[in-house]
Structure 1
Amino acid sequence: MLEVDSINTFYGKSHILHDVSFEAGADEVVALLGRNGVGKTTTMKSVIGLTPPQSGTVRFEGEVVSGDSPSSIANRGIGYVPQDRGMFPELTVEENLTMGLGTAKRDETIMAEIFDRFPRVEERMHQKAGTLSGGEQQMVAMARALMRDPKLVLMDEPTEGLMPSLIPEIADITEEIADSGYSIVIVEQNVDLVLDIADRIYLMDNGRIHEQATPADLRDDETILEKYLGVGI
């Protein structure tokens, strides 16, 4: 479904991603793991078109999308949950969700599914997004990414910055989305969550992907996580 082939991405003259390659198949959950600052978020932004790679190729369902605008890439069926949640604080929750539609029309069947998955989002529909808690904003960001019923969802640190008491709830929602048949590429520091939901894991360091592993591999050999994250299981 998603094929990222030897992309190189720069911020100005700073070379951030070096020949990054990975893929995610249909109904597959793929995780990018690594310490802060190794290029995981830039990889996600390169896929969605916010920081287009200067070389290499991103393909979605066999078609080249690298070089396309973010809105065009989203229209092809890729949803994006940004690391900073991307809220418009002065807009209501409903207006923030509508931003996720782009030029598409609101589908009430999809809305019903979203409200079933995020009942708190439905409760807050007429509340300004800036007044929500961090966990509620994260739910809105995730719901917004699902508004067009995408085939692939990019999730960048869905549990980052949340109160510890909220992390299990967001983790459960993330796992439920994965179990619903969406293809997912996730960046996440919550190793337990990644090991629970991922089919394959790519380990990044210094803007490169160095290893590919399965959750079983990482459970069997904790030195891999210690090398790339400085933590054990």
Structure 2
Amino acid sequence: MAEPLLSLRGVKTDIGRYHILHGVEFDVPEGGLTMLLGRNGAGKTTTLRTIMGLWRATAGEVRFAGRNIAGLATPDIARLGIAYVPESMAIFADLTVQENLTLAARSGPPDQKRLDWIFSRFEALKRFWTLPAGNLSGGQKQMLAVARAIIEPRRLLLIDEPTKGLAPAIITNMIDAFRELKDGEASLLVVEQNFAFARQLGDTVAVMDDGKVAHTGSMAAFAADDALQQHLLGMGMGEHQ
């Protein structure tokens, strides 16, 4: 069996006096998309932020491409080919769409072929290219946040709730973009509450509960097991579209 691209073993994270992660363990295979699911407060966002070095693990290993990155600074982790899209989006509201994407392209001006592909999925970014990003709607800002992460090829994408607040048509475009990425250049670890989205895109799944991983496996098998969904999530995937 091939070595996973990302592997968490015994990861604990404390925030102040609060113990948030209690020995998190799961793998993200090379290629494809892993869904990170769980109830609110289960530790999903903390897990992404710990992988990215924004919060420091107090114990355990975060291995990326065979290397323990748990002690690295966030810029060094990013330089290894990992991009993070937070739920807050973290775009530069006073800069234009163009300037936001140009800043995210570390190796120079964005490649036009890459831009054309992004515009084919997120047409609004082309339409509002010269406008301040703060003028965009919530859904358009989410498009921009994702576009910043993929403006250059990345080996691993960490994305927190990409469909939150998006219209169905935009979600469809997001699904198409993520499908192309996971079938081509990137592996993805996605936190998502939209179970229809998770079912369509997920290859593997890790389900968190109270700061630990309670289940891992294939998304297809998890989506077919309503009793397990009820136990771990408090609802079946068919109940939440």
Partner in structure 2 of residue 170 of structure 1: 174
With the length of structure 1 as denominator, give the TM-score of the two structures.
0.92
Give 1:107 shift.
Answer: 4.2
Separation (CA, whole Å) in 1 of partners of 2:66 and 2:110: 27
Separation (CA, whole Å) in 2 of partners of 1:222 and 1:138: 31
- Structure 2 residue 201 is matched with structure 1 residue 197: yes
Partner in structure 2 of residue 89 of structure 1: 93
- Structure 2 residue 134 is matched with structure 1 residue 134: no
- CA gap of 1:230–1:44, structure 2 versus 1, over 3 A, is same
Partner in structure 1 of residue 38 of structure 2: 34
Separation (CA, whole Å) in 2 of partners of 1:61 and 1:48: 14
- Structure 2 residue 108 is matched with structure 1 residue 105: yes
Partner in structure 1 of residue 158 of structure 2: 154
With the length of structure 2 as denominator, give the TM-score of the two structures.
0.89
Give 1:174 shift.
Answer: 3.1
Partner in structure 2 of residue 3 of structure 1: 7
Give 1:215 shift.
Answer: 2.3
Separation (CA, whole Å) in 2 of partners of 1:107 and 1:99: 9
**In the alignment, which of 216, 219, 229 is matched to residue 212 of structure 1?**
216
Question: Which shows bigger deviation, 106-115 or 77-86?
Answer: 106-115
In structure 2, stretches of 5+ residues that fail to align are none
Separation (CA, whole Å) in 2 of partners of 1:158 and 1:16: 23
Give 1:165 shift.
Answer: 5.7
Identity in percent: 37
Report the 3-state secondary structure (helix = DSSP H, G, I; strand = E; otherwise coil) of the residue aligned with 2:49. Answer: helix
| Alignment of structure 1 residues 61-80 onto 2, 5 Å | 61-80=65-84
RMSD of aligned C-alpha atoms?
Answer: 1.8
In structure 1, stretches of 5+ residues that fail to align are none
Partner in structure 1 of residue 50 of structure 2: 46
Give 1:230 shift.
Answer: 1.7
The number of aligned residues is 232
- CA gap of 1:180–1:117, structure 2 versus 1, over 3 A, is farther
Partner in structure 2 of residue 59 of structure 1: 63
Separation (CA, whole Å) in 1 of partners of 2:66 and 2:109: 28
Conserved? CA contact 2:31–2:186, under 8 Å: yes
